[in-house]
């Protein structure tokens, strides 16, 4: 079993005299030796992610404890929950009390939700309660497993945030799991961006709060602005005791006590390359004129003579000839464009808007608004905008009204935010590839949870074609072959544009289907829930099914289950696994296949000339050796992208530390 060291820490995770009225972990600046040791520990942590003997003992102990509860009536279970609260308050989160709590939660879930936790879900919940990350395959019931850790911590008086990737899941999970929490005498809230501040405070005041990662981080930033530089816990205690107008009543959160992060790799890794910036609109009509002028100047520059594009790093470099041309074009200008540095920076943003950002890949245009698309999930990032005039230049490029610029009020990275929780747990289906980084950044150890039923997922041989048109023809053929059997098919594409292009080809071929991309994000749950029915064909971007199961329709399992086709390699192997994990859940049959082409963006952007020649040489090769060579080069391109993104996250963290030191020196801590 795990040690009972949590018992001594329980009091420190509750708002109160011990931890203060707004408890959180302070920023700790690790030295070089500490960072090196942490990196080594992260590497070693990958070796132990499959150690499950302790978890199996815990599950057996919970099963024994549950036997005594089956015959109890509802009132007796209610009294037991009250007694558990008292015991947690006096003894803390000891192993024995947590085992009793898990058994009680399981029994009440059976009665209120008609869902009984599997043993593997008990293991997953235990891992989360210990402040670790449970890697559970798609369809293994992570949402239900999280109730064990959340409810146990809440019974001990610890405020719990269950953090997920979008607001649909926030509302769905809070509503679906609510009866279980209420049966335990616990309150549950859901916080979304459209709520007024009073409702948000009420949601965070509940024992268990469901919220999105973006919402809770920005609400925390608002609290930090309210707190200002006077962050003394003693001062907050005095304010609450002696003044009516105290800051505690204005805070959104009650502190950062315990968080359980759903889809943790997406939140803690994929979204950690971009800082969170709290802003407000400012009148920028004068800047709009400059942005339009800069974009017009960018249109007059010629590629490979006035500027060069680094496709690997997605960067643009002006040449000396380009700089001189800009100087000539702006002769007589005054103001911003008369400065060489500002002129070149603004025109560089214009070139970025024109040549690096593509409509229906990086952004959508909807009702004359430019909406950024998250490359990792395929979802629209509501209220998100690019900085330093880039967003306005994209709006001008697409003939949309220019929005006002935004003034920065506060800035925070996910790395710093989540490390401030006193205890951090999580769950996801894909974490082993980034287990070292999760440990070195968040001190979050990954523990793989065994499957409830043995997997029947079948891998079909990967196809690699010379050109995109060959690939799409092969995809149509593969879809038709599986569709003739009545099996449902889920096709993953790399962008909105690709999903719509494939949809057109399917329509021409008279194959009925549904499309799921950022344009249909409001219909996501419905489309995904139907994707496993007889004969159903679904074309989707990476948003497919994150957090939503694909149940098989009647008779589909006997036909072979869901078939998944990937039409591109994603920027990380984990994301490929997320798509393939949509089939063959909970022991169901299913199969998956990748159908690729050698002119995919990922490959072209990350392959050097000699690699491109090798790919062309073996394109369409008949022998397995040819395919293996191409697969190795494709995987190499994927690894290069993963490494680059890892470096971007590390650089952002280092930059954040530097900013923190600078602000601390000036007397501002955020």
The pLDDT, as a whole number, for residue 603 is: 79
Q: What is the distance between the alpha carbons of residues 578 and 585, in angstroms, rounded to a whole number?
A: 12
Cα separations (Å) of 493 from 181, 376, 434, 579?
Answer: 39, 12, 23, 10
The pLDDT, as a whole number, for residue 180 is: 98
Tell me the average pLDDT of the chain.
86
The pLDDT, as a whole number, for residue 108 is: 97
**Which uninterrupted H or E stretch holds 428?**
strand 423-428
585's tokens = 């859940």
The pLDDT, as a whole number, for residue 47 is: 63
Cβ distance 541 to 518 under 8 Å?
A: yes
Examine the pLDDT at 278 and tell me if it is beyond 70: yes
329's tokens = 């074009």
pLDDT tens readout for residues 175-217: 999 999 999 999 999 999 989 999 999 999 999 999 999 999 9
The pLDDT, as a whole number, for residue 561 is: 97
* The most confident of 15-19, 113-117, 384-388, 440-444, by mean pLDDT: 113-117
The pLDDT, as a whole number, for residue 1 is: 45
The pLDDT, as a whole number, for residue 482 is: 96
* Lowest mean pLDDT across 67-71, 86-90, 190-194, 286-290: 286-290
Cα separations (Å) of 255 from 17, 207, 409, 664?
Answer: 13, 13, 20, 21
CATH T-level assignment (fold) for domain 456-597? Rossmann fold (3.40.50)
State the first-to-last Cα distance of the chain, in angstroms, to the nearest integer. 40
Cβ distance 652 to 273 under 8 Å?
A: yes
The pLDDT, as a whole number, for residue 491 is: 95
Average confidence (pLDDT) over 150-179: 95
Superfamily covering domain 19-275+413-448: P-loop containing nucleotide triphosphate hydrolases (3.40.50.300)
Q: What is the distance between the alpha carbons of residues 322 and 622, in angstroms, rounded to a whole number?
A: 47
Residue located via tokens 């209120």: 112
The pLDDT, as a whole number, for residue 666 is: 43
Name the β-bridge partners of 566: 492, 594
The pLDDT, as a whole number, for residue 240 is: 56
Cα separations (Å) of 340 from 288, 314, 350?
Answer: 19, 23, 15
Higher pLDDT, 122 or 608: 122
Instruction: Read off the pLDDT band of 162 (50, 70, 90).
Output: very high
pLDDT tens readout for residues 374-426: 776 667 777 788 888 899 999 999 999 998 877 777 888 899 999 999 999 99
Instruction: Read off the pLDDT band of 247 (50, 70, 90).
Output: low
* Lowest mean pLDDT across 63-67, 458-462, 507-511, 547-551: 547-551
55 three-state secondary structure: helix
The pLDDT, as a whole number, for residue 313 is: 77
**Domain extent listing, the chain:** 19-275+413-448, 283-404, 456-597
The pLDDT, as a whole number, for residue 164 is: 92
Residue located via tokens 């018992």: 7
Average confidence (pLDDT) over 79-88: 96
The pLDDT, as a whole number, for residue 146 is: 98
Classify each residue of 9-46 as buried b or exposed e, where b means 16 or more C-beta atoms within 10 Å of its C-beta: ebbbbbbeeebbbbbbeeeeeeeeeeeeebeeebeebb
pLDDT tens readout for residues 20-72: 778 998 876 666 666 566 666 666 666 667 678 889 999 999 999 999 999 99
Closest alpha carbon to 611 in 312, 354, 324: 312
Q: Answer yes or no: same fold for 19-275+413-448 and 456-597.
A: yes
Examine the pLDDT at 665 and tell me if it is beyond 50: no
The percentage of residues in the chain with a pLDDT greater than 70, rounded to a whole number, is 85
β pairing state of 423-428 and 133-135: parallel
Classify each residue of 178-196 as buried b or exposed e, where b means 16 or more C-beta atoms within 10 Å of its C-beta: bebbebbebebbbbbeeee
Closest alpha carbon to 445 in 436, 457, 453, 433: 436
Average confidence (pLDDT) over 424-429: 95
**Which uninterrupted H or E stretch holds 552?**
none
Instruction: Read off the pLDDT band of 245 (50, 70, 90).
Output: low
Cβ distance 192 to 166 under 8 Å?
A: no
As to burial, measured by CB atoms within 10 angstroms (0-12 exposed, 13-18 middle, 19+ buried), residue 202 is: middle
Cβ distance 564 to 488 under 8 Å?
A: no
Global pTM reads 0.85
Average confidence (pLDDT) over 230-248: 57
Q: List all residues 6 or more positions away from 498 whose beta carbon is below 8 Å from its beta carbon.
A: 541, 567, 568
CATH T-level assignment (fold) for domain 283-404? Pre-protein croslinking domain of SecA (3.90.1440)
Reduce the secondary structure of 237-292 to three states and give it as a string.
Answer: HHHHHHCCCCHHHCCCCCCCCEEEEECHHHHHCHHHHCCEEEEEECCCHHHHHHHH
Average confidence (pLDDT) over 362-380: 83
The pLDDT, as a whole number, for residue 248 is: 63
Cβ distance 166 to 153 under 8 Å?
A: no
The pLDDT, as a whole number, for residue 139 is: 85
pLDDT tens readout for residues 608-658: 654 555 555 555 555 566 677 778 888 888 888 888 888 888 888 888 777
360's tokens = 């229906």
Give the CA angle between residues 153, 158, 164 to the nearest 5°: 70
């Amino acid at each position: 079993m795990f040690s009972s060291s949590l018992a001594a820490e329980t009091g420190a995770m509750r708002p109160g005299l011990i931890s203060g009225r707004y408890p959180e972990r302070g920023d700790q600046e690790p030295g070089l030796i500490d960072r090196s040791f942490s990196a080594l520990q992260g590497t070693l942590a990958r070796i132990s992610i499959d150690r499950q003997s302790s978890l199996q003992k815990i599950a057996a102990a919970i099963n024994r404890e549950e036997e005594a509860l089956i015959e109890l009536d509802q009132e007796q279970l209610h009294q037991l929950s009250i007694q558990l609260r008292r015991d947690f308050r006096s003894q803390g989160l000891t192993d024995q009390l947590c085992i009793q709590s898990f058994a009680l939660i399981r029994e009440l879930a059976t009665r209120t939700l008609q869902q009984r936790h599997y043993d593997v879900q008990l293991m997953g919940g235990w891992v989360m309660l210990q402040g670790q990350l449970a890697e559970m395959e798609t369809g293994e019931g992570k949402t239900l497993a999280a109730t064990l850790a959340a409810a146990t911590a809440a019974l001990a008086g610890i405020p719990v945030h269950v953090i997920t990737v979008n607001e649909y899941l926030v509302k769905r999970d809070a509503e679906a799991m609510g009866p279980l929490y209420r049966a335990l005498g616990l309150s549950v809230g859901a916080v979304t961006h459209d709520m007024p501040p009073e409702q948000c405070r009420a949601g965070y005041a509940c024992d268990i709060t469901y919220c999105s990662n973006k919402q809770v981080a920005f609400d925390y930033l608002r609290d930090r602005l309210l707190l200002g530089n006077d962050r003394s816990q003693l001062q907050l205690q005095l304010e609450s005791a002696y003044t009516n107008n105290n800051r505690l009543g204005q805070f959104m959160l009650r502190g950062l006590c315990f968080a359980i992060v759903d889809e943790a790799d997406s939140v803690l890794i994929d979204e950690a390359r971009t800082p969170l910036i709290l802003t407000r609109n400012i009148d920028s009509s004068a800047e709009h004129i400059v942005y339009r002028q800069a974009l017009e100047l960018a249109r007059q520059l010629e590629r490979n003579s006035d500027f060069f594009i680094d496709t690997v790093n997605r960067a643009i470099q002006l040449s000396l000839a380009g700089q001189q041309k800009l100087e000539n074009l702006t002769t007589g200008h005054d103001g911003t464009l008369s400065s060489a540095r500002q002129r070149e920076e603004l025109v560089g943003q214009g070139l970025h808007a024109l040549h690096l950002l593509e409509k229906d890949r990086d952004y959508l245009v909807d009702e004359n608004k430019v909406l950024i698309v998250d490359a990792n999930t395929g979802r629209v990032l509501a209220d998100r905008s690019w900085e330093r005039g880039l967003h306005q230049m994209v709006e001008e490029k697409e003939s949309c009204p220019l929005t006002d610029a935004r003034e920065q009020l506060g800035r925070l990275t996910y790395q710093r935010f989540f490390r401030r929780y006193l205890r951090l747990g999580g769950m996801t289906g894909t974490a082993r590839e980034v287990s070292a980084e999760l440990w070195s950044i968040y001190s979050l150890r990954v523990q793989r949870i065994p499957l409830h039923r043995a997997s029947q997922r079948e891998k079909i041989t990967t196809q690699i074609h010379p050109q995109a048109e060959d690939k799409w023809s092969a995809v149509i053929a593969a879809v038709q072959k599986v569709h003739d059997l009545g099996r449902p098919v889920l096709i993953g594409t790399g962008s909105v544009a690709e999903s719509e292009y494939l949809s057109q080809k399917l329509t021409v071929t008279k194959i009925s289907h549904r499309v799921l991309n950022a344009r249909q994000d409001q219909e996501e749950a419905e489309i995904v829930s139907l994707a496993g029915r007889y004969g159903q064909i679904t074309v989707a971007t990476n948003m497919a099914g994150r957090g939503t199961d694909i149940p098989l329709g009647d008779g589909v399992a006997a036909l072979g289950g869901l078939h998944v086709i990937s039409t591109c390699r994603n920027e990380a192997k984990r994301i490929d696994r997320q798509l393939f994990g949509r089939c063959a859940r909970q022991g169901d049959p299913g199969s998956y296949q990748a159908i690729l082409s050698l002119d995919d963006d990922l490959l072209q952007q990350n392959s050097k000339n000699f690699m491109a020649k090798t790919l062309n040489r073996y394109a369409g090769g008949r022998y397995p050796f040819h395919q293996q060579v191409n697969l190795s080069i494709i995987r190499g391109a994927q690894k290069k992208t993963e490494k680059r993104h890892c470096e971007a996250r590390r650089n952002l963290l280092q930059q954040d530390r530097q900013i923190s030191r600078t602000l601390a020196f000036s007397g501002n801590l955020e």
